[in-house]
Amino acid sequence: MALAVVVYHTSLWQDLFAPASVTATTLAKLGIYGVQGFFVISGFCFFHLYGDRVFDGPALRTFFLKRYLRLAPLFYGVVLLNLMFHLKAGPEADFRMLAENATLSFGFFHPNHALVVGGWSIGVEAVFYAAFPALAFLARKHKGWLYLFAALLAWASTFWSLHRVLEAEPWNRFHAYVAVGNHAFLFLLGGILAHLRSQTAFRLRPLPFLALMTLLAALTLRLHQGFYDHFDIMAGWPRYEFSALCVLTVGVFAFLDVPVSRWLRPFVKLGDWSYGTYLLHPGAAALLTGLGLAQKGWLGFGLGLALTLAFAALAHRWIEKPAMALGR
């Protein structure tokens, strides 16, 4: 999903495809809803791994320390690079913005206070991390709370999806779109998938899995073709149609047990590099521009993608892995 975001952004920056073409609109769907799918995956993984855990004092400290060490080191590194090289990302870096980014608390004020391109989703994640122990406690007492909160948050999101984003001035739509209330329900839908998976031994076989994924891919391709304004699929009822496709896609994978195989290693690597891929691809594009290598077209696209993956691999090896090891 992180790679889908990178391909989407880089193809736009390089003017690879004509606006409203099938390829351009398909990449827009995958890039925009790659982030939404990540929220669903995050909720699934947390409730799957920690849903039945008792969060006493030591467990809470360990949980928050691990989450901090997973998000903060690379995020801080990208903020520092942006400041050092005067790369514009987010608001002016005054004392308040620096303090919010240093504490990863900007999502509680507004996710667009991130000093990193795409950092708004990290702010949304941090809010979910803060709320998760309480949500897990209530869901452990009775799973009905999980379903109730998911329904309430989905209903609350309509304030943004059906009104606030659509009614905002074009220059202000993204600012309205990234609000935590517009995305929080996706985390809990991921938690519901984790609960449903735990209630049955049923698992998909490869052929039904492929058939379902083909169907979901066809629906994604078919729905809402030919748009010029990408907010046409980021708000209104299309927002819920594509969010449902995200949830169903994660659900199909959730009910598939994949045996360990050497054929999976490239996908494992992509997963390892996903956080770095997401945060570092704007920096890769800026570096190519600074070196005079920002060629338009497929050459620029290939250089940007290759440099992003190289940066992500290095970041995972030298920043993320040591931080996660420290957390353990």
Report pLDDT for 293: 72
Report pLDDT for 287: 86
Report pLDDT for 296: 77
Report pLDDT for 2: 83
Report pLDDT for 282: 92
* Angle formed by the axes of helices 120-141 and 144-158, nearest 10°: 140
Report pLDDT for 188: 96
Mean pLDDT, contiguous 10-residue spans, the chain (328 residues): 89 88 94 95 94 86 93 96 88 94 96 95 96 93 94 96 93 94 96 95 93 96 92 95 97 88 85 94 87 78 92 96 88
Report pLDDT for 213: 96
Report pLDDT for 326: 87
Only one residue has tokens 């199909």, namely 252
Distance (Å, rounded) from C-alpha 26 to C-alpha 222?
9
Report pLDDT for 323: 92
